[in-house]
Amino acid sequence: NAGVTQTPKFQVLKTGQSMTLQCAQDMNHEYMSWYRQDPGMGLRLIHYSVGAGITDQGEVPNGYNVSRSTTEDFPLRLLSAAPSQTSVYFCASSYGPGSGANVLTFGAGSRLTVL
Residues of this chain that bind another protein (CB under 8 A): 31, 33, 35, 40-45, 48, 50, 56, 58-59, 90, 97-98, 100, 102-109
Output b/e per residue, 47-72; b: 16+ Cβ within 10 A. Answer: bbbbebeebeebebbeebebbbeebb
Q: Which is nearer to another protein, 33 or 85 (CB)?
A: 33
Shortest Å distance, C-beta 83 to another protein: 22
Q: How far is CA 14 from the centre of its chain?
A: 20
Give least dist CB 74 to another protein, A.
14
For another protein, which is the closer residue by CB, 50 or 52? 50
